[in-house]
Amino acid sequence: MPAWVLGLLASWYLATVVQGGWSSMAPRPTVGDTVWLERTLAAPAGWRLRPGRLEPGQDVEPLGDPGVRRSPDGWTVRYPVVAWTPGPHSLTLPLIWRLGPAGEADSLAGGTAAFVVRSVLPDTGPRPAPKDALAPLRPELRSIWAPLLAGLLAAGFLGGGLWWRRRPPRTLRPAPQVPVEPEVPDERWLAAGEPKAVAARATRRLRAAVAAAVPAAHHALVTAECLAAVEREAPKAPLRELRDVLGAMDQVAYATAHGVDVAALAKRARRLAGELAR
């Protein structure tokens, strides 16, 4: 038998079962329940069905893709849907395509499915009227003193912080007067066998007097550099005597001279320091 004859027979056979309609599998569905819409269609051997995609509506939406399964009477098409409003619903199903073994294709009207959805709320009669609006939580008249006082306090704290940050430095009290111990005479140091201590004290005093008279001859210079600075800056100073005294003191400090009268050197150093101080 030609293929086009088989197609015509299949179309006529499927059209005869459209009057069967759709059935709802849920007995008494409520709002939000899954409702399965089923319909069984007969088809010749070797033919398959492909249902169309159901588009969501305002009150009814599909929960997934439609399914097709084999049944004793043919093919069963199932659509899972959900309704969001109570009451009766009438849903127009999309086209159902039939596919033949030789590549034939034809469409069949989906028809209309009707089902009723109950409300999840109990029917207790008329709804209560809405209540009146509540009174305002705050009075209409507000006091200006609270924000004004808050602003004054903030300004006071800010001014106090600026004054505290820019306050003048504190005046320190003068240090207490500490009594200075009397200087130990050179004789005691010499009697104790410390000629280097006597020479070091005399040298420090003389170098301080030289640095005060000639700033270029400061303490950081060695003896030769100090004498050169004195010769350059103060040619009228007793340079020869300074060279003799400071050179002898260096020899005593480095223990390169023996039999030197340290007491006499210390006296000469004090005298020179006094002359330079004048």
Average pLDDT of the chain to the nearest whole number? 82
pLDDT band at 257 (very low <50, low <70, confident <90, very high): low
Kindly state the greatest CA–CA separation across the chain: 153
Residues 266 and 186 sit within 8 Å (Cβ to Cβ): yes
pLDDT for residue 162 is more than 80: yes
Q: Does the structure show a pLDDT above 80 at 10?
A: no
135 pLDDT tier (thresholds 50, 70, 90): confident
Q: How many CB atoms lie within 10 A of CB 81?
A: 25
The H or E element that residue 75 is part of is strand 74-83
**Percent with pLDDT over 90 in the chain:** 13
User: Half-sphere exposure of residue 236, counting CA atoms within 13 Å on the CB side?
Assistant: 3
Structure confidence at residue 12 (pLDDT) = 37
pLDDT greater at residue 34 or residue 141? 34
CB atoms closer than 10 angstroms to residue 20: 13
Q: Which helix (H) or strand (E) holds 34?
A: strand 34-41
Please give the Cα distance from 143 to 146 (Å, whole number): 7
Asked whether the CA dihedral 179, 180, 182, 184 is positive or negative, the reply is positive
Question: Rounded CA gap, 266 and 271, in Å?
Answer: 9
Task: Please state the pTM of the whole predicted model.
Answer: 0.39
Judge contact between 120 and 130, C-beta under 8 A.
no
